[in-house]
Structure 1
């Protein structure tokens, strides 16, 4: 190979420095300097691989021939054909024919582009900043035996020019990624804060509703019963016929109290498990509506759903309860199906009806849908409402990532006080 005069080398090095200025990302930077580098080290393929923060993965940016290295997402350093260089075990890598050099095609190495593009001569030097390897400069050619030790020295000089610039680009990219992560975290935190506020307001409204139910219904009934009993104490003869309406009113009052308590605390959930509580909710909602609606419950969770923490389980039940109530009251449906599914990545719940659908006018009871969304967000679950099959009906779906929510306790029936 023709050896360049020192003045010519200096001109090309200065040219590389000038071309780097203003480049704001890795790929454009390596492509900008490729021609100047080719005057110093001829090549058919040139790439720079950058080790990502943490040191486990690296990304390649190439020019000249396009290979799977440049089109591949971040890959493990341990699978790189030049891992010994990236790990700092060798000062450089130089081969006359990488097709037969065992250093490049060891078991588990991602060496396919070497054979696909017939990259025989290969020269690799590390990119270093303050003694730490941040990546590598790689030159490859189809011709075997093209590079020598003089080329290694020249490649090191080029790497010294590239290293601080690529280090700065890597730091800027990492700072941008951290900024995005921080912004997303803040958005989630703000969403949770607003969600908690909305849920607190909803719970306060629920508390007031229960209070009004007790005052307007149960307390009024008990007051009437008390007055009737007081009148009876002044009567001489009290027959069974006189007491029978009183006993019936007392039974109605007790039934109303049970209903209020049942709505306030899902006791069936704690006593008999999630599927039984949902089935009980389906039965009661349809029965109380007086409508003729066919129902179906499919439980394909294998009991995993009953190993959730109580707060998470109750939140899921409340969402399902609201979805069932909405379907019964507003969907004008003939069929309602609730499906509980255990999946590798979590638990899914689907409430499907064949009613008028979400795109058609439907009176919405209070802030029920907002409350469902808020409850889902507070337990890191995904909540969606979509059209049913053929745009008929609607589907409420909740997906809860299982890895973060499942409790390590044994699968057992919980009876909470």
Structure 2
């Protein structure tokens, strides 16, 4: 390749500097200067890879030819064909034919685009800022043996022009991402705070309900029993016939008390596991309602829910319990199906009925839906409620495998 006059080189370097001005993102910047760089180093493919914060991954921005390097970011630096340059083990890479150069083809290397696009001659020089390698500039040609050490020197001069600008872009991008993450954390903390407040209010309402049940039902029954006992103490003789109403009332009182305790503490869940507790609650709710409802539970979890933290499994049970209660009491359904499944992305619980649908049912149990949303948010589960494709309602609770997702709640039409 013929050497370019110093004055011409200087003009092209100044052109690169002018073209960089005003570019606000990596891809537009590299495309803006590609033609000017081509006057100095002819190429069929040009890319700049930028090492991301932390140094483990890098992202490629390319022009001339679109390859998997630029289409599938980010990628591991350790799998880059030019990792020796990015790690500072060599000051440059120059090859007459990368398709036959073992430096680019090692175990785990992502070198496929070299062969797919026939990128034979290649130059790679580092982008450095204050001695730190932040990435690399790469020029490639279909022609074999095109580049020389003079091209390496010119490439390094271009890289030195690009590096400060790209460093500023990377810093701005990292600051923007940090601001987004910080805002998301604040929003999540505020959501959890509001969720905890709503749950506290719901628990207080539940405490008051239990108190009223005990006062209006159990305490009243015990008062009546006490008065009967007081009257019986004045009877000269006690007979079995006289004691039978007392025993029957006592049994009813005990049954009512057990029901209140069962609603307050899911003992079946603790004793027999999640699926059994859900099946027990579904059957009892249908029986107590007096309605003709076909209830089915499908369990494909193999007991995985029982291996969760107790607070998480209890919360899932409470959400499922409320969904069943709503379907039984308000949906006017003929069938209710509870599905429990375990997938690679987490646990999914669905309560599906063929009742009157969301719009009509929501007016009757809006508070219950809010409680389910709050419980789901506090365990980082995703809650959704939607109409089924026919009619009725589908309530879904998805607990991701890592148990640390972003809370997400949707209400809409199921497709």
Q: 1:402 maps to what in 2?
A: 401
User: Matched residue pairs, number?
Assistant: 404
TM-score (norm 2): 0.93
2:24 corresponds to 1:14: no
Q: Is the Cα contact below 8 Å between 1:331 and 1:362 reproduced in 2?
A: no
Q: Structure 2 unaligned runs (5+)?
A: 405-415
Contact 2:99 2:119 in 1 (8 A): yes
Instruction: Please list, as runs of the form range in 1=range in 2, the aligned pairs for 1:173-188 lying within 5 A after superposition.
Output: 173-188=173-188
CA distance in 2, matches of 1:365, 1:215: 25
| CA gap 1:113/1:402 in 2 versus in 1, 3 angstroms | closer
Shift of 1:104: 2.2
Q: Is contact 1:59–1:75 with CA below 8 Å preserved after alignment? A: yes
Residue 317 of structure 1 aligns with which residue?
317
SS at match of 1:204: helix
- 2:231 maps to 1:231: yes
Gaps of 5+ in 1: 406-417
In 2, distance between residues paired with 1:366 and 1:202?
13
1:280-315 deviation line (CA, Å, top 9, x unaligned): 101110111011111112221112111111111111
SS at match of 2:99: coil
Q: How does 1:128-207 map to 2 (within 5 A)?
A: 128-207=128-207
Single out whichever of 209-218 and 293-302 deviates more from structure 2: 293-302
Q: How does 1:213-252 map to 2 (within 5 A)?
A: 213-252=213-252
- Gap change, CA 1:402 and 1:39, over 3 Å in 2: closer
* Distance in 1 between residues matched to 2:27 and 2:366, nearest whole Å: 54
Q: Which residue of 1 aligns with 2:101?
A: 101
Whole-angstrom CA distance in 2 between matches of 1:135 and 1:362: 56
How far does the alpha carbon of each residue in 1:242-294 deviate from its partner, in whole angstroms, 9 at most, with x for none? 32222211211111111111111111111111111111101110111011111
The CA distance in 2 between the partners of 1:99 and 1:352, in whole Å, is: 58
1:79 aligns with 2:79: yes
Counterparts of 1:135 and 1:366, CA distance in 2 = 55
CA contact (8 A) 2:16 2:33 kept: yes
Would you say the 8 A contact 1:268–1:277 is kept in 2? yes
Q: Secondary structure at the match of 1:105?
A: coil
8 Å Cα contact 1:357/1:391 also seen in 2: no
Distance 2:83 2:403 in 1: 35
Distance 2:111 2:308 in 1: 46
CA shift, 1:366, in A, is: 5.6
Taking the aligned partners of 1:127 and 1:245, their CA distance within structure 2 comes to: 93
User: Can you list the C-alpha shifts for 1:174-208, whole angstroms capped at 9, x where unaligned?
Assistant: 11111111111111111111000000000000000
* Equivalent-residue separation in structure 1 for 2:186 and 2:291 (angstroms): 46
Q: Within 2, Cα distance between the matches of 1:360 and 1:204?
A: 28
Distance in 1 separating the partners of 2:134 and 2:190: 37
Q: Could you tell which deviates more after superposition, 283-292 or 220-229?
A: 220-229
Matched residue of 2:55: which SS?
Answer: coil
Matching of residues 109-124 of structure 1 within 5 Å: 109-124=109-124
Deviation at 1:147, TM superposition (A): 1.3
Deviations 1:362-381 (A, max 9, x none): 54236111101110110111
Q: Say if 1:401 and 1:362 are closer, same or farther in 2 by CA, change over 3 A.
A: closer
Q: 1:48-67 alignment to 2 at 5 Å?
A: 48-67=48-67
Q: Which residue of 2 aligns with 1:45?
A: 45
Alpha-carbon contact 2:48-2:61 (below 8 Å) kept:
yes
- How far the C-alpha of 1:361 sits from its partner, in A, is 5.1
Contact 2:47 2:63 in 1 (8 A): yes
The runs of 4+ residues in structure 1 deviating greater than 3 Å are: 359-363, 402-405
Secondary structure at the counterpart of residue 365 of structure 2: coil
CA RMSD of the aligned region, Å?
1.6
Match of residue 89 from structure 2: 89
Decide whether the 8 Å contact of 2:339 with 2:349 is kept in 1. Answer: yes
- Equivalence for 1:267: 267
TM-score (norm 1): 0.93
2:258 aligned with 1:253: no
Contact 2:225/2:246 (CA < 8 Å) preserved in 1? yes
